Structure 1
């Protein structure tokens, strides 16, 4: 498969999706199939490489996706889709390295990677406050749900076998949601550079991300009571400042493919086009990331529906609708994405946080999301797109100021520097551990 002619590769599309065992990840794979078949010509072929944490979950996901093919397409269209399961534990860095090596050896390129997998890290809900908030302020409460309880300082199990005593700590939510994906993306950069268009690194964030939940001196969220929200805010900062001049030094290191024989395990293409980074979120939909008893789950869905009827643009309810934005970023022509961002760039802005949105009739679309400290697309002042100005805002939101944007970009510089230094440190640790393991084998 890795030796297809270049002409053939132009009609072949390879998309990697993490966390596809259920919920949003599974819906992303399903929507990739339907949207690809309806937007690409019949000569195009899509390979979806989806990851789960175990072979059992991979088999279940594969079976589910295979059942989707006949109802939505003709046999000819079914042959245009290839499903390729992989296993990885994104909170265990050796597993991430192993996946990178397998991909480099088995596929010729990657056109997009959708970084969806993650954990909430919550242990419960502050029910009295949650019930009161839902009854008295429903739309805000079920959009930016602030009543989840998470332990402080949760760390991953040891990452190495020979240097456990000297191993630095890694936050469990940080690693599963951000750092594992960051390492994976860097390790497969050679495959992304082989895409016939700029490869796409598509982060799946959350509507709940806000700089108020983030401390750059606690990059891993080990001291915060909201590690999930902290990790998603870090995701936003990295993606939105990836093209800022202040982050260039560190971003170039991230986009540089590993050396031959290193993490990726194969040839790399230094001369390929530099990939582009995009940011998305699924709105508010019903997933299993916050475990609830079945009656409570359906009560949650009902509250989401009421919020949508009351004017919330973010309550997508279903994971299929929630997959709208990340899939749109993956399957659209580059010209379409460039055009969507151009209006923001023309007014001094840059990257946009694209969210899955629904109207009252359930019609979904990918729209700009206002971000604390970045506004809509990094444009200072009032939103420049009419739809953005008309969309319901988070309570307390204010128009972006020039000072806030400078602060956000400086925050981005510090985050990119911290992430790159951590990546280099852990690459050295894992390489040393692999060498010691080989010496004792």
Structure 2
């Protein structure tokens, strides 16, 4: 047997009240008492009404709720302008002789006003579409968190270069899908691209914290200015995706393709572009080879200038370089590490990227900085559209879908190409192999996955290249000493 007890002391101009299995009516001042029903005790409540008499609740007993609602909250309501009262009943049955005694404990209701049927509390916003006040679009709340202050434990700071399109843009969107609390800083070549990219990202992630920084990786003065701005803005960086890159004036060697077809090496050539792609490089404004400066040295200088934000943090920081399956030792030479004399500057710069990542791990793992290398595969982007006309790529697309059953690095879309980048975002760096390149892959049926492959790199060569980069850095800093702190 169960016993129910509604809330008591509920005042108001009530016409009808319900508590367990009784009802009272009245207008005068007094107390109502309920008569004993079948096995149930009724108690009255205080109200602004004259004395009323309870009546038996045969068959009603709270409108059939007895047994199902035992111990739940019962409400006593008065019509008109009366208040709401809620009581909680806890029933314990103890057998005495041949019967059952029920003990009832009542928890008094909390004081609160009547609930509204029309008011709903929405979710607390985690950010705003426009983050005003800070440099590069970073708002005050974002800057507090990024500087390690209040809320810093709740977000990670992620910098992405080359974020205006292709894999870089897809990466930004996918990172926000993984963790909408990150502070995303997008680095683009100019302000117009930065703002356009930011608007694209906020269109799909309106609550995201997105700031911008202007940097041209092929211009060392621009790199130093951007690094100085980032040092002023943040106290740490958790992830730096070194994704920007160029492939100027690409040409397809159709003679090499024909030779590959005759020798059975065509599939290998199609997946690595070995011997197929050539480029015509040139000097930039700093007197460096443009591909080397943009793809490698600009990023190297940026990392060196941001070292205070990357090393010695509570949690490890990460460098993730976008390399390529086209990175080949045969295209690289220490005596010509800028590749001024060859026609495979892109391949040379990507192999140098692999070497640099390896040596950075050896130098800085002890300070909490880890470096990894990824390959996005063959992606249709502005870079590939410079190799062949767009209409020709579209004609070749059905063939490329078929090739993907055999060449899994034909990711084709920027979203698929960012698979390895996003996978590394979720891994613990201490368990990763610094001599492995992580490839974005897509099966013939469209399933995305990551495949680790051992890199063909020599650690002694990596150390020698690192020393050459340090020498070039020293010359650069002497030239642009006015841009240093």
TM-score (norm 1): 0.71
1:233-272 to structure 2, matched below 5 A, reads 233-244=351-362, 251=363
Bigger relative contact order, structure 1 or 2, given CA contacts below 8 A and separation 6+? Answer: 1
Which among 127, 144, 147 is matched to residue 272 of structure 2?
144
Which among 293, 299, 319 is matched to residue 389 of structure 2?
293
* CA positional deviation for 1:327: 2.2
Which among 174, 196, 204 is matched to residue 292 of structure 2?
174
Which among 53, 71, 88 is matched to residue 215 of structure 2?
88
State the Cα deviation string for residues 171-206 of structure 1 (Å, max 9, x = none).
Answer: 110000000000011111112236431111111100
* CA positional deviation for 1:299: 3.5
SS at match of 2:360: coil
> Could you tell me which residue of structure 1 aligns to residue 476 of structure 2?
426
State the Cα deviation string for residues 19-56 of structure 1 (Å, max 9, x = none).
Answer: 1111111111111112225xxxxxxx211111111222
> Could you tell me which residue of structure 2 aligns to residue 97 of structure 1?
224
SS at match of 1:10: helix
- Could you tell me how far apart the structure 2 residues matched to 1:279 and 1:58 are? 25
1:164-203 to structure 2, matched below 5 A, reads 169-193=287-311, 195-203=313-321
- Could you tell me how far apart the structure 1 residues matched to 2:478 and 2:394 are? 47
CA contact 1:138–1:303 (8 Å) conserved in 2: no
* CA positional deviation for 1:434: 5.2
CA RMSD in angstroms, aligned pairs only: 2.5
> Could you tell me which residue of structure 2 aligns to residue 404 of structure 1?
none
* CA positional deviation for 1:240: 2.4
1:323-338 to structure 2, matched below 5 A, reads 323-329=418-424, 331-334=425-428, 337-338=429-430
- Could you tell me how far apart the structure 2 residues matched to 1:142 and 1:209 are? 14
Which among 7, 11, 15 is matched to residue 158 of structure 2?
15
- Could you tell me how far apart the structure 1 residues matched to 2:399 and 2:255 are? 16
State the Cα deviation string for residues 106-126 of structure 1 (Å, max 9, x = none).
Answer: 223210100000101234323
- Relative to structure 2, which stretch is displaced further, 130-139 or 298-307? 130-139
1:155 and 2:155 are equivalent in the alignment: no
TM-score (norm 2): 0.65
SS at match of 2:383: coil
CA contact 1:111–1:198 (8 Å) conserved in 2: yes
1:51 and 2:187 are equivalent in the alignment: yes
> Could you tell me which residue of structure 2 aligns to residue 383 of structure 1?
none
> Could you tell me which residue of structure 2 aligns to residue 369 of structure 1?
453
Number of matched pairs: 337
Which sections of structure 2, spanning at least 5 residues, go unmatched? 1-141
Change (3 A) 1:132 1:302: farther
> Could you tell me which residue of structure 2 aligns to residue 227 of structure 1?
345
Larger radius of gyration: 2
CA contact 2:224–2:483 (8 Å) conserved in 1: no
SS at match of 1:424: helix
State the Cα deviation string for residues 209-263 of structure 1 (Å, max 9, x = none).
Answer: 011111011111111210010000000111124345xxxxxx46xx9xxxxxxxx
1:314 and 2:409 are equivalent in the alignment: yes
SS at match of 2:284: coil
